[in-house]
Amino acid sequence: MSEEKENMQTAGKDIPRATARRLPIYYRYLKILLDSGVTRISSNELSKAVKFDAATIRRDFSYFGALGKRGYGYDVKELMEFFGDILNQDNLASVALIGVGNLGQALLNFNFHQSSNARISAAFDVNPEIVNTIQSGVPIYSTDDLEKQIQDQRIEVAILTVPAEVAQQTAKRLANAGIQGILNFTPLRLDVPKEVRVQNVDLTNELQILLYFINNFEKDEN
């Protein structure tokens, strides 16, 4: 499925995609604030922490009802728990990593340990030198066993870091195995069934965008 759908569904409401992308950021900073002893915060104060303007924060929060109190602001713990429920932070999701090259190895080392409710529980590769080994605490399986392991372990999310020439074929196998979401690090835009959600991460494209803004900012300054 493409990323053309602009809204997400939560609690029976349509939440704009841009708002949905900011929710994990709100959650992370609220947790940091709570751990540092902050018990309440205004949208203006939260704006300084997350670097979104206060009007955007208030608009985002308004999709979920009255989360704050006029003259008081927001209760940090209550707000963090609210967004934690929406993001399903209490349930640890198992993730499959497909492709243990340089990028895949870096993701294994990171493994979302303290930043998410997800963890890589199985990895797959074609390299016989690493198949049937443990890398960063994660078992590496042969891609021949992809469908069996995903189904046996009831994994619903996969990270795809394979070469572009096998990305579509691998995505099809993942969909047939029951994967519901793919974090796609390949440059290929995948053709998958509509019930499979794909999030594309193009590091080259993001770097080019950054360089574009740097170069144009410098031109404006001159």
Residue list, annotated binding site for NAD(+)? 99-104
Question: Would you say 106 and 138 are in contact if contact means Cβ atoms under 8 Å apart?
Answer: no
Write out the binding residues.
99-104
